[in-house]
């Protein structure tokens, strides 16, 4: 499989801008923005793996989503909410293709 050349991008991370230092980097969610030099802009909802488990438990307790029978996923799961983790993740995804094609392409 041919790898595409990585595109440069700018990254805005909610957890750096909104109440920095008060996020659980392994068990939380955040919004990020990815800006590409060609003018494309992406708003991406990111969850950590641990937050996925937490969201299911919260739905079971609150009765949401048929008591946790299903869960509407975010755009992306990551190990932790850190600039390093997300930067590497976006770099790798861009090597594979356009974000609109590599992030949850089954739902358009």
The pLDDT of residue 105 is 67
Q: Coil, strand or helix: which one is 53?
A: helix
CA distances from 65 to 24, 36, 58, 75, 83 (A): 24, 35, 10, 18, 31
Expressed in percent and rounded to 5, the helix, strand and coil fractions of the chain are: 40, 20, 40
Q: How confident is the model at residue 55 (pLDDT cuts 50, 70, 90)?
A: very high
Of all residues in the chain, the percent with pLDDT exceeding 70 is: 90
Strands (E), the chain: 10-13, 29-35, 41-48, 76-78
The pLDDT of residue 106 is 63
The pLDDT of residue 46 is 97
C-alpha span between 103 and 63 (Å, rounded): 29
Q: How confident is the model at residue 107 (pLDDT cuts 50, 70, 90)?
A: low
Domain ranges of the chain: 10-98
Q: Do the strands 10-13 and 76-78 form a parallel or antiparallel pair, or are they unpaired? A: unpaired
Q: How confident is the model at residue 104 (pLDDT cuts 50, 70, 90)?
A: confident
pLDDT at 6 over 60: no
């Amino acid at each position: 499989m041919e790898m595409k050349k990585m595109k440069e991008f700018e990254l805005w991370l909610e957890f750096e801008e909104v109440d920095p230092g008060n996020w659980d980097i392994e068990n939380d969610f955040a919004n990020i923005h990815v800006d590409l030099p060609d003018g494309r802009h992406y708003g991406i909802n990111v969850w950590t793996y641990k937050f996925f488990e937490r969201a299911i438990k919260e739905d079971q307790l609150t009765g949401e989503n048929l008591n946790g029978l299903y869960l509407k996923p975010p755009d992306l799961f990551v190990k932790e909410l850190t600039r390093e983790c997300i930067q590497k993740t976006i770099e790798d995804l861009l090597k594979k293709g356009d974000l609109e094609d590599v992030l949850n392409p089954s739902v358009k």
